[in-house]
Amino acid sequence: MPPERTIDELRQAVRDWCATAIPKDWRRTEADATRDEFVAFQQEWLRRLDAAGWAVPHWPAEWGGGYTLAEQGVIYEELARAEAPRLVLQFISLHHAASTLLHAGTEEQRQRHLPAIRQGEIWCQGFSEPGAGSDLASLATKAVRDGDHYVVNGQKTWASLAMYADWCLLLVRTDPTAPKRKGISYMLLDMKTPGVEVRPIKKATGEEHFCEIFLTDVRIPVENLIGPENDGWRVAQSTLNSERGATMVELSERLKVGFGWLWDELHDPDRDPSLLSAHDALVADELAGYATQLEALRLLVARGLADDISPANVGTLASITKLVYSELLQDITGFGASLNGVGGQLATPRVASGGWESGEWLLDHISSWEWTIPGGTSEIQRTIIGERGLGLPREPR
């Protein structure tokens, strides 16, 4: 169990820790790192956070967490305000993989993987396919039972940082005759299994973040099945929707940090007079608009953490928050990229930008487009909001 503290005491504890623990000039360290150096840096930062008790505040107490939603919000908020490195490499591990194991895994699976995740075990997600992205239920990767194993053949794509992964959350089709959402199973794939091939996809920024995963006669033990066979769709929906938005506190706070950079840059008295600045009425109007939207996002996030929100509204609110955040991220970084003339169109690729970390507006804007696609595109989020939140009729199929 975490030590008993008031919210203010917890906030001060995280703030004091950040003051001495955050590596100096870590952005440059990550920017100049080789792949191996990037992994080593991220793993060391995870160990520091875990030793302090800040790595998995959203997990149950018996697994190293035990913080309330409000306390989780404070921890993420302070880490973001201190501009601490983000655990890019472990995001799937700490959130999606852990959530899946905690909600649907067996005790043996939890004992095997949860401690390992805290020690640096890296996970990726094998959901989307070339023909099944937004329409995930159309996935075609096939798994056939062969004794105490499943034999898997197929292809996954857009798997973030899969080139580093030890394990993969994998959705496969185990009953091709069933309705498409009824014949899907959820499995844990050891990425070292023979027949697994990972091919990184180079982004417009020059970096490699997403990957394709090719599966050829890959044998997965039956014991690696999550939930019942053919019940993978339900498992995937329930576990990935179980995150109630505490991590969005960190993401929204980091976006506020990025907006602060933009604000300072445009108010800099030494700014090149040939470039637009905050003294321009149109620029000032844009800044005011973004400041207002950031406050609205903050209120949305706070609502998602409220104790009195009904379970029925959690999914709709999560879709609203994700939609607002991802599109505001695009708008702010795009605005920053437009204000610095030709010089603002030059950027140095980074190892793993998430849309705000580099401070180079063009790079961050290009990277920001990732956020309107994964976890359900903006179009899908609007459909969820319309159907579940507003009660609008579904379009006939």
Report the C-alpha gap between 215 and 219 in whole angstroms.
Answer: 10
| Rg for the chain, CA atoms, rounded | 22
What residues contact 307, with CB distance under 8 A and at least 6 apart? Answer: 69
Alpha-carbon separation of residue 340 from 2, 161, 182, 270 (angstroms): 47, 31, 52, 14
Q: State the catalytic residue, choosing from 243, 265, 327, 387.
A: 243
Cβ contacts of 388 within 8 Å, gap of 6 or more? 315, 316, 319
CA atoms within 13 A on the CB side of 170: 36
CB 307 within 8 A of CB 69: yes
**CA distance linking residue 349 with residue 347, whole number of Å:** 6
Distance (Å) of CA 206 to CA 328, 348, 353, 387: 24, 9, 11, 39
Tell the burial category of 375 from Cβ atoms under 10 Å away from its Cβ (0-12, 13-18, 19+).
Answer: middle
* Helix ranges, the chain (H): 7-21, 26-31, 35-52, 69-81, 91, 98-104, 107-118, 232-240, 246-267, 281-304, 311-338, 361-368, 378-384
The β-bridge partners of 201 are 210
Rounded CA separation 183/339 (Å): 51
**What tokens were used for 167?**
């394990």
| Strand 167-173 with 123-126, pairing | parallel
For 200, phi and psi rounded to 5 degrees? -65, 150
Q: Identify the helix (H) or strand (E) that includes residue 190.
A: strand 184-190
> Using the 8-state DSSP alphabet, how is residue 96 labeled?
I
Token match 């591990």: residue? Answer: 93
For the question of residue 243 being annotated catalytic, the response is: yes
Q: Which positions are annotated as active-site residues?
A: 243
